[in-house]
Amino acid sequence: MAVVSSEKTKELTRAQFIKLSGIVYRESGIVLNEKKYNLLMARLVRRMRKTKISSVSDYIRLLSDNNDEFNEFIDEVTTNHTFFFRENQHIEFLVNTLDNNKPLKIWCAASSSGEEAFSIAVQLLEYSFKFSIFASDISDTMLKKCRKAVYPVQRVKNVPRSILYKYFQKGKNRWKNYVRVKPEVRQHVQFAKYNLLSDKPFDTYDIIFCRNVMIYFDLRTRKNVVNALCRSLNPGGYFFTGLSENIHGLEHGLKTVLPGGYRKP
């Protein structure tokens, strides 16, 4: 890891990198190893520009004194790109397997900017399911985007045209390159802030999605998160992780039903 100590270049010293990556780990469980130096540096520089601070050490002191900026920094570092109908085989499995006469309670436990929750909702509506979705994330910035439900058109490129026309509104004028999820879809999804590391589940669910976030966790954190989520999963319920994630070797008691898909006995 190449580091430069000059404050003028806004580069991180090794000690500063260790301190900031430690803050991120304690708050979010995300591991930033030395390969993530450039990522952390880029996100840090954006926050320093916003706060008009030119010294890394001064910015680190601000994080200690200003809770709002602390939250902004965590948002900046933990935000990840997503899109509609990502790894959609999990949702296809559900609509082809479950009885649409039985009401479903669903938790999207790392909802990012909302594409996953709304992808689930439009497909369940299309197949006449009765359901409610609780979608949570650690980022206040992402939750604001979720509630606005406005997305660039490239995010919906995988959505079938019939569903796109039925459940999304196309923007006009300055919003012509955006779409918005229709109110009849949004009413089924509740968004709230939730920290997978420190908050306690307050309900149980028939289906839990926690996809493409555990790849950033170390083994101990994955174990704690999976165990907590499994306690909130009803017997016979389904748990989904990202296709690139692996919970084998963890003592969760779930049965594999498809890649990234598990069922609680």
> Do the Cβ atoms of 212 and 242 come closer than 8 Å?
yes
**Is residue 255 assigned to a domain?**
yes
> Do the Cβ atoms of 222 and 252 come closer than 8 Å?
no
- 169 — pLDDT class (breaks 50, 70, 90): very high
**Token duo for residue 31:** 């591991």
Residues 72 and 120 in one domain: no
Interval 81-110 mean pLDDT: 95
Residues 66 and 127 in one domain: no
Which of 52, 78, 104 is the last residue before a domain boundary?
78
**Is residue 205 assigned to a domain?**
yes
Question: Considering only 55-64, 119-128, 241-250, which range has the smallest mean pLDDT?
Answer: 241-250
Q: How far, in Å, CA of 58 to CA of 248, rounded?
A: 43
CATH code of the domain in which 44 resides: 1.10.155.10
- Report pLDDT for 56: 92
Q: What burial class does residue 80 get, using C-beta atoms within 10 Å of its C-beta: 0-12 exposed, 13-18 middle, 19+ buried?
A: middle
Q: How far, in Å, CA of 116 to CA of 188, rounded?
A: 13
Q: How far, in Å, CA of 229 to CA of 226, rounded?
A: 5
- Report pLDDT for 252: 78
**Token duo for residue 54:** 């030119």
Phi, psi of 108 (to 5 degrees): -95, 105
Give catalytic residue positions: 43, 137
Q: How far, in Å, CA of 187 to CA of 202, rounded?
A: 21
**Is residue 2 assigned to a domain?**
no
**Is residue 239 assigned to a domain?**
yes
> Do the Cβ atoms of 182 and 168 come closer than 8 Å?
yes
**Is residue 179 assigned to a domain?**
yes
Residues 23 and 143 in one domain: no
Residues 72 and 145 in one domain: no
Residues 70 and 99 in one domain: no
What percent of the chain has a predicted confidence (pLDDT) above 90? Answer: 67
Q: How far, in Å, CA of 261 to CA of 255, rounded?
A: 9
Which of 78, 99, 122 is the last residue before a domain boundary?
78
Residues 228 and 128 in one domain: yes
**Which helix (H) or strand (E) segment is 131 a member of?**
strand 131-137
Residues 172 and 196 in one domain: yes
User: If you compute the radius of gyration of the chain from its CA atoms, what whole number of angstroms results?
Assistant: 20
Residues 106 and 17 in one domain: no
**Is residue 99 assigned to a domain?**
yes
Residues 51 and 158 in one domain: no
Enter the pTM of the model: 0.80
Q: Answer whether residue 6 shows pLDDT above 60.
A: no
Q: Answer whether residue 131 shows pLDDT above 70.
A: yes
From the list 48, 55, 56, the residue with the least C-alpha distance to 17 is: 56
CA distances from 60 to 6, 37, 69, 73 (A): 15, 16, 10, 10
Residues 57 and 115 in one domain: no
Task: Write out pLDDT tens, residues 16-63.
Answer: 999 999 998 988 888 888 888 888 998 899 899 999 998 999 999 999
From the list 203, 200, 241, 247, the residue with the least C-alpha distance to 221 is: 247
Phi, psi of 207 (to 5 degrees): -140, 135
Interval 98-124 mean pLDDT: 96
CATH code of the domain in which 235 resides: 3.40.50.150
What is the domain count for the chain? Answer: 2
Q: Answer whether residue 5 shows pLDDT above 70.
A: no
Interval 68-84 mean pLDDT: 83
Task: Write out pLDDT tens, residues 189-237.
Answer: 999 999 999 999 889 999 999 998 888 888 889 899 999 999 999 999 9
Please provide the DSSP assignment of 59-128 as one string.
Answer: HHHHHHH-HHHHHHHHHHHH-----TTTTTHHHHHHHHHS-TTS-EEEEETT-TTSHHHHHHHHHHHHTT
The domain of 49 spans 7-78
Q: For all residues of the chain together, what is the average pLDDT?
A: 90
**Is residue 151 assigned to a domain?**
yes
Residues 132 and 206 in one domain: yes
Determine the residue type at 4: V
Which of 78, 106, 135 is the last residue before a domain boundary?
78
**Is residue 83 assigned to a domain?**
no
Q: DSSP assignment, residue 173?
A: G
CA distances from 172 to 16, 123, 163, 175, 203 (A): 46, 25, 19, 5, 40
Q: What is the dihedral of CA 213, 218, 219, 221, to 10 degrees?
A: -70
Interval 83-106 mean pLDDT: 96
- Report pLDDT for 19: 93
- Report pLDDT for 34: 85
Residues 118 and 245 in one domain: yes
